[in-house]
Amino acid sequence: MMWDYGMGGWWMWVPVVLIPLLIITGIIVMIVLLVRSGGSAGRGPSGPSDTTDPARRLLEDRLARGEITPEQYRELLNTLEEGRRR
């Protein structure tokens, strides 16, 4: 009785090679997506600073560079938030 291991099993290398490649590719894609997101997956909107708003980020940068005083920063931030509520 012959089980044809010599010629008929040529296609068996396909899953042996493709499955590990798919797993490795999936891991690499997940790592790249986490790095691109900045690692903010577990951080909510109440994080250290909400930098998703470009206007607020600009105000924070100007305050950090010393272009505006903390009083001016608060006043401009309040004006910005009032304008958004309307």
Is 62 part of a structural domain of the chain?
yes
Is 64 part of a structural domain of the chain?
yes
- Around Cβ 76, how many Cβ atoms within 10 Å? 17
Tokens of 40: 């903010």
Is 56 part of a structural domain of the chain?
yes
What gap in Å lies between CA 27 and CA 20, rounded to an integer?
11
Residue 4 has a pLDDT of 57
What lies within 8 Å, CB to CB, of 55 at 6+ separation is: 80
Residue 74 has a pLDDT of 94
What gap in Å lies between CA 9 and CA 5, rounded to an integer?
6
Tokens of 36: 């691109």
What gap in Å lies between CA 82 and CA 85, rounded to an integer?
5
Whole domain around residue 56: which residue ranges?
A: 52-86
Confidence at 14, pLDDT banded by 50, 70, 90? confident
Is 78 part of a structural domain of the chain?
yes
Is 23 part of a structural domain of the chain?
no
pLDDT tens for 18-75 read 999 999 999 999 999 999 987 555 454 444 455 578 889 999 999 999 999 999 999 9
Is 37 part of a structural domain of the chain?
no
Q: How many domains does the chain have?
A: 1
Is 58 part of a structural domain of the chain?
yes
